[in-house]
Amino acid sequence: MFKHSSPRLRFFTLPFFRWLITALIIILFIVSVVLIQNTFNMKETRITIPTAHGQLTGILTLPKHHSDQVGLVVFVHGDGPINASYDGGYRPLWEKLAMAGYASLSLDKPGVGGSSGNWLDQTMEDRAQDVLTAIEWARKEPSIDQDRIGLWGASQAGWVIPNVVKQDPDIAFSILVSPAINWITQGRYNTQQEMLQKGYTEEEITAKQLYNDQVLQLIRNKATYDEYMYMANKEQLISKERWTFIVNNVESDATDGLASFHSPVHLVLGDKDINVDVQETERVYRQMIPQSLLSVTKLPDADHSMLPSSLVHSTFKTYATALFSPRRLMDAQYLDDIVQFLNSIHAVDQLFVEHFRFPID
């Protein structure tokens, strides 16, 4: 008499094994693609910089193969609780810089990663001091060419970098991406553009701006958080820590500080930016910085974060691109443009050295 096979054994049939093997192959392929795409041609080292207020942690990225000293780009973050790599978002640019012979140095903001403190307690001057501390540390690194230390900064960094350059005249270059000029006008512009994009009427936008002006008056009067809570729209509350941060920084304006630049400045703007009025930014930069020092690139398809327009309105596409093809996360022209700027100023430096090289008797 034959025994019937159990349901469990019947489940493990040849078609099932074929399906299982196919699924495993697909999973292994996907994992391999992700690993390959997220492996970058550079050397990363975690660093810790002691300060009077604790420590700053971050990442120093170097070209994989270099024999001579390399230039350095010190990264200055925009707004928010940003870690050293911007959750990996900086790595495609770091790789481009490494391939061009530049190191990158980026810190965790205070209270992020291993850095001491709280970034929301900082003023723009405090942020500048963190950058100066990082530069001082970098100048002691034997692999870094002290004559080629410059800055890259995005958005809010536009209020930080002029402070850094004013205090350190040896900064070799500055790259500013999507910087604003004035905190208050930038906020108004951003509110208007976001609401227009979402389809709000002019009346709704005006009402929102009137409410924001009331909040702004409290901020400029340095009102307490309790005073704010008394009148605030409970559906749009600012946290207590954020309130303090805004009170401390609301008068930020980059205009006068732009006169502090005495080395090449490269301004990168995206035509799809709804956070910053890029026309105002370009106009003020051209007014305040000598033409001989300033270069401007406007990217027609890029937004505030240098994302291409195809990704701006799709969170799924953005995350999928970051995972499977991170080098395409930024506008196609953006990365090449940064490298072209650095190559151009390095070529000028080399020409200067060759021109003034004298024979030694």
Listed by start position, the domains of the chain span 43-182+253-355, 185-248
Report pLDDT for 352: 37
| 139 band by pLDDT with thresholds 50, 70 and 90 | very high
Q: In terms of CATH, what superfamily is 43-182+253-355?
A: Alpha/Beta hydrolase fold, catalytic domain (3.40.50.1820)
CA distances from 103 to 41, 46, 198, 292, 320 (A): 12, 13, 41, 26, 28
Report pLDDT for 309: 72
Res 10 pLDDT > 60: no
pTM: 0.86
Q: What is the DSSP code string of 215-252?
A: HHHHHHTT--HHHHHHHS-TTSPPPHHHHHHHHHHTT-
Place of tokens 């060419």: 145
| 331 band by pLDDT with thresholds 50, 70 and 90 | confident
CA distances from 359 to 179, 354, 356 (A): 45, 11, 10
Query: Which pLDDT tens digit goes with each residue over 169-216?
Result: 999 999 999 999 999 999 999 999 999 999 999 999 999 999 999 999
The chain-wide mean pLDDT, for the chain, equals: 88
Res 101 pLDDT > 80: yes
